[in-house]
Structure 1
Amino acid sequence: MNRALGKKGEELAMAAARAEGYTVRESNYRCPFGEIDLVLQKGSTVVFAEVKTRKDDSFGEPWEAVTEIKQERIRRVAAWYVQQHNLHLTYRFDVFAVYSWGGNWKYRWYKDAF
Structure 2
Amino acid sequence: MASHNDLGRRGEALAKAHLEATGYEILDENWCHAKAEIDLIAYKDKVIIFAEVKTRSGNGFGEPEDFVDNRKQKLLVKAADEYIYLMNHQGEVRFDIIAILFKSETNYKINHIEDAFWPSADLL
CA distance in structure 2 between the aligned counterparts of 1:87 and 1:33, rounded to whole angstroms = 22
State the partner residue of 2:94.
92
Name the TM-score, length of structure 1 as normaliser. 0.95
Q: Deviations over 1:20-42 (max 9, x none)?
A: 11000001001124110000001
Alpha-carbon distance in 1 for matches of 2:31, 2:76: 11
1:112 maps to which residue?
115
Alpha-carbon distance in structure 1 between the residues aligned to 2:73 and 2:32: 15
- Cα separation, 2, equivalents of 1:57 and 1:113: 19
Q: Which runs of 4+ in 1 moved over 2 A?
A: none
Q: CA RMSD in A?
A: 1.1
1:59-78 aligned within 5 A: 59-78=61-80
Q: Deviations over 1:48-73 (max 9, x none)?
A: 00000000113311000000111111
Q: Corresponding residue for 1:11?
A: 13
- Which ranges in structure 1 are unaligned for 5 or more consecutive residues? none
Secondary structure of the 1:96 match is strand
Farther-moved stretch of structure 1 (67-76 vs 47-56): 67-76
Secondary structure class of the residue paired with 1:88? coil
The more displaced of 71-80 and 28-37 is 28-37
Which residue does 2:120 correspond to in 1? none
Q: Which has the higher strand share?
A: 1
